[in-house]
Chain A
Amino acid sequence: MGRFHRHDDGHEHGQGHGHGHGHSDLGDHSGYRTGGERIEVLERIFDENDHTAAANRADFDSAGVTAINVMSSPGAGKTSLLAAALRILTETRVGIVEGDIETSIDADRLSGLGATISLLNTANGFGGECHLDAPMVRSALSKLDLTALDLLLIENVGNLVCPAEFSVGEHARAMVYSVTEGEEKPLKYPVMFRSADLILVNKVDLLPHLDYDIDIFFRNLRAVNPTAAVLETSTRTGRGVADFCDWLRTRCTPDPEGSAAARGDTTARSQP
Chain B
Amino acid sequence: MHELSICRSISDIVVRHAAGRPVRIVHVRVGALRQIVPDTLVYCWSLVSADTALAGSQLCVDSVPAAIRCIPCEHVTTLSEPLICCSRCGGHDIEVVAGEEFLITSLDLAEV
Taking Cβ atoms with an 8 Å cutoff, the residues of A that contact B are 3, 24, 26-30, 32-49, 127, 129-131, 133, 161-162, 164-166, 187, 189-192, 194, 222-227, 270-272
Contacts and interface: CB of A to CB of B under 8 A. Distances in A.
B62 A27 contact: yes
B42 interface: no
Nearest to A272: B101
Contact of A39 (B17, B29, B101): B17
Contact of B84 (A130, A131, A133, A225): A225
B13 interface: yes
A227 B111 CA distance: 51
Contact of A27 (B14, B92, B105): B105
Contacts of B5: 127, 129, 133
B6 interface: yes
Interface of B: 1-2, 5-6, 9-10, 12-14, 17-18, 21, 24-25, 27-29, 31, 33-36, 60, 62, 81-85, 92-93, 100-111
Contact of A45 (B10, B81, B109): B10
Contacts of A42: 103-106
Contacts of A26: 29, 105-106
Contact of A166 (B2, B25, B28, B83): B2
Contacts of B101: 272
B50 to A, nearest CB: 16
